[in-house]
Chain A
Amino acid sequence: MLTMKGKYGLKALHYLSGIPEGTVAQSVEIAETYGMSKKFLDAILADLRNGGFVETRKGRSGGYRLAHRPEDIMVGHALRVLDGPLAPISCASRTAYQRCSDCTDEATCAVRLSMLEVREAIASVLDTKSLADMRSMVEAARLEQDEFLEIS
């Protein structure tokens, strides 16, 4: 499930993938850009640092930057560190497993069996989409939007 944390984390990574190489970004500027709470964002960035996706530089000119090239960081990989296993429903995961409170027979549950398949599909999309791919998607969408505005 995509939580608020996952959503903000991906936005922060998207921001970091756009800053010039060799520079860092402070969490204040990321928080202001997307209108998030800085405190929440700092906790998210700490998790991403723990997972090895972002690095920090300390001191007055300190801040955050990506630990690898944007082509080498997959959206699905970062999302697992933010939100745990990729699963649309909590009984569809082995490691963060939670049984539904109203469940009578899990082994033959139609919803669960379908969601197990969905889980694999999510992984196959998000594990091949890098931060660089995400940037180009955004670029393409922007171009389309501009064209649309010009026509109308």
Chain B
Amino acid sequence: MTHHIVIAGGGASGAIMAANLFRLGDGALRVTLVEASDEIGKGLAYLTTNPSHLFNVRSAQLSAFSGSPDHFDRWLAVHYPELTRNGPFVPRSIYGEYLEAALRETAPVGKLRIIRQACVGMRELENGVEVTLADGSSLPAHFAIVATGFGLKPESEGLLSNPWTDPLPENRDARVLVIGTGLTMVDTVLSLLDNGHKGKIVAVSRRGLVSQRHALHRPLQLSTADIPLGASIHYLSRWLTDLVRTHVKNGGDWRDVMDGMRPHIQTVWKNLPTESRQRFLRHAAAFWDVHRHRMPPAQATRIAAALESGQLEIVKGRFLSAERRGDRLFANVMRPGWYEPGPFKADIIYDCRGVRRRTDQELKGLVGALVESGAARLEKLGLGLEFDRNCALVNANGDASSRIFGIGPVTLGTFWESIAVPDIREQARQIAERITSGRRDVTRNSVARLP
């Protein structure tokens, strides 16, 4: 039987999912990609056209298929040979084109359909899934996959500008305030510099930490047997710092340890007690992120130069609100040791805050609809939807669906790390194997569930 699979969201996660389904499915399936925008394979991170916006993962890790790790590098060598000469970190702007090529290569004629609409609901039936679209029509499917990304709308909110979609300031001397000091801040500052910006740029975040620099290293070969799973975050972080200290003393690099942890992060997160997860989010996540998600050397050098010249300044403080007085903007920022917020003058304010800790906002779109209908629920900390370890959606009663799955940033709340291509393609392989292996997998799963 030919299975029909609907993927909600045609960004990088959705495209990688579709390509893996075709590659592992022997042509015996049809896929419908539901994507409201005109772009396929270009989600939040890949919409950029600026060549200074680089991947922070090396090109050797960017293949859409875990089964053929050099797929991206081979495509790169044919289509952009000049880029391979600039080191392993390539611009993100070409990735959408690669994913389209990967789809063309894997999808048999007539098996891939793209619908330019938003997906607004999914209902699991006995033999399939009913997927509803924004115009009220519905699609019958055997399986459905939620690939809606971060759920951030590419629109500006109030007085804050969106770094990905709003134009750069025409006035090159404008005073710019950036909220957040993560990698989005780095991209925004590089865009401003590329545009010939002369004015002062101030970036503010609670801890004022900036991402570390990538360097050559050899990841430590860690096994789960080495890592203290299930222990408190206090114990785990001391173990990690001790390990780094010993490794550095023996002539290694701290990056070896961070990248050695990488394959185990989902397992560590899954086994971390709930109160330890909360502590981690509150106290350690910012430190973790700047060591884990690093800047390519080319970017790090430019940021360091901007800091050196004083054009860019990093300030510690908590952003509270923004207001307009006359033609200027003022951001209220609570700085450490201050009893009341001080106003920061700016001509433009970019919102470059992280995607992970915005739990206050109401859930929009498909994710909100799934929670409301009881087809999904939030995981314990409210970071996002809950999935089981096979990426199956967990409903309001705590049961994992056998027909609705999730991939990419939408699964962030459950897996902690599911943003980078190496993680997403691994999820895609798992889901594709589960769907295409059919009955065999049912027995394997029931065995796995025995105590």
Chain A interface (Cβ < 8 Å from any Cβ of B)? 50-53, 67-68, 72-74, 76-78, 80-81, 85-87, 93-96, 116, 119-120, 122-123, 127, 133
Query: Which A residues are CB-close (under 8 A) to B221?
Result: 94
In the complex, given contacts A52-B233, A123-B225, A127-B229, what are 15 additional A-B residue pairs having Cβ atoms less than 8 angstroms apart? Answer: A52-B232, A72-B273, A74-B230, A76-B229, A77-B271, A80-B227, A80-B228, A86-B226, A94-B222, A94-B223, A94-B226, A94-B260, A95-B222, A120-B223, A133-B451
**Interface check B83, CB cutoff 8 A:** no
The CA of A120 and the CA of B234, in the complex, are separated in Å by: 25
- 29 CB contacts below 8 A, A to B, read A50-B232, A50-B235, A51-B228, A51-B231, A51-B235, A52-B235, A52-B273, A53-B231, A73-B230, A74-B230, A74-B271, A77-B230, A77-B231, A78-B230, A80-B227, A80-B228, A81-B228, A85-B225, A86-B225, A93-B225, A94-B220, A94-B223, A94-B260, A96-B226, A119-B223, A119-B225, A120-B224, A120-B225, A123-B223
A51–B276 alpha-carbon span in the complex (Å): 11
The 10 A-B residue pairs with the shortest CB-CB distance, nearest first, are A52-B232, A77-B230, A86-B225, A123-B225, A51-B231, A85-B226, A80-B228, A95-B226, A51-B235, A119-B225
> In the complex the two chains form, what is the Cα distance from A119 to B224 in whole Å?
9
Q: Nearest CB to that of B239 among chain A residues?
A: A95
Residue of A nearest to B235 (CB): A51
B322 to chain A, nearest CB (A): 41
Query: Does B248 belong to the interface (CB within 8 Å)?
Result: no
* A94 / chain B contacts, CB cutoff of 8 Å: 220-223, 226, 260
Complex Cα distance A72/B229, Å?
12
B230 neighbours in A (Cβ, 8 Å): 53, 73-74, 76-78
Say yes or no: A87-B225 contact (C-beta < 8 A), given A68-B273, A77-B271, A94-B220. Answer: yes
**Complex alpha-carbon distance, A74 and B224, angstroms:** 14
Contact of A52 (CB < 8 Å), options: B220, B243, B260, B276: B276
Question: Inside 8 A of B231's CB, which chain A residues have their CB?
Answer: 51-53, 77, 80-81
List chain A residues, Cβ under 8 A from B226.
Answer: 85-87, 93-96
| B:229-254 near A, CB below 8 Å | 229-235, 239, 243
Give, as a whole number of angstroms, the nearest-CB distance from A63 to chain B.
Answer: 20
B253 to chain A, nearest CB (A): 15
- B345-356 toward A: CB 8 Å interface, digit per residue (1/0)? 000000000000
List the B residue with the shortest CB-CB distance to A78. B230
CA distance A81 to B232 in the complex (A): 10
Q: How far, in whole Å, are A122 and B225 apart by their CA atoms in the complex?
A: 8
A87 to B235, CA, bound (A): 20
Alpha-carbon distance between A82 and B325 when the two chains are bound, in angstroms = 61
0/1 per residue, B23-36, Cβ < 8 Å to A?
Answer: 00000000000000
Residues of chain A with a CB closer than 8 A to B228's CB: 51, 77, 80-81
A75 to B210, CA, bound (A): 39
Closest to B242 in A: A95
**Cα–Cα distance between A87 and B222 once the two chains are bound (Å):** 12
Chain A residues near B229 (CB, 8 Å)? 74, 76-77, 80, 127
How many angstroms from the CA of A30 to the CA of B224 in the assembled complex? Answer: 31
Q: B221: nearest residue on chain A (CB-CB)?
A: A94
> Please, which residue of chain A has its CB at the minimum distance from the CB of B232?
A52
Smallest Cβ distance from A109 to chain B, in angstroms? 16
Taking CB as reference atom, which chain B residue is nearest A122? B225
Minimum CB–CB distance for A87 against chain B, Å = 6
Within 8 A of A (CB), among B180-231: 220-231
- Specify which of A51, A80, A123 is in contact with B232 (CB 8 Å cutoff): A51
User: Taking the nearest CB of chain B, how far is it from the CB of A76, in angstroms?
Assistant: 7
Closest to B233 in A: A52
Chain A residue contacts of B235, Cβ below 8 A: 50-52, 81
Complex contacts, B276 vs chain A, CB 8 Å: 52
Q: Which of A67, A77, A80, A87 lies at the interface centre, i.e. has the most chain B CB atoms within 10 A of its CB?
A: A80
- A87–B226 CA distance with the chains assembled, in angstroms: 8
**Which residues does chain A contribute within 8 Å of B224, judged by CB atoms?**
120, 123, 127
Chain A residues with CB below 8 A from B223, complex form: 94, 116, 119-120, 123
B221, B223, B232, B451 pick with most chain A CB within 10 angstroms? B223
Most chain-A CB neighbours within 10 Å: which of B221, B234, B451? Answer: B451
Residues of B within 8 A of A96 (CB): 226
Chain B residues within 8 Å of A50, by CB: 232, 234-235
Q: Which residues of A contact B225 (CB under 8 A)?
A: 85-87, 93, 119-120, 122-123
Query: Given the complex, which residues of B lie within 8 Å of A72, measured CB to CB?
Result: 273
By a CB distance below 8 angstroms, the chain B residues around A85 are: 225-226
Q: What chain B residues lie within 8 Å of A81 (beta carbons)?
A: 228, 231, 235
Residue in B224, B226, B233, B239 with the greatest tally of chain A CB atoms within 10 Å: B226
CA separation between A67 and B231, bound complex, in Å? Answer: 11
Cα–Cα, bound, A93→B243 (Å): 12
User: Chain B nearest CB: distance from A91 CB in Å?
Assistant: 13
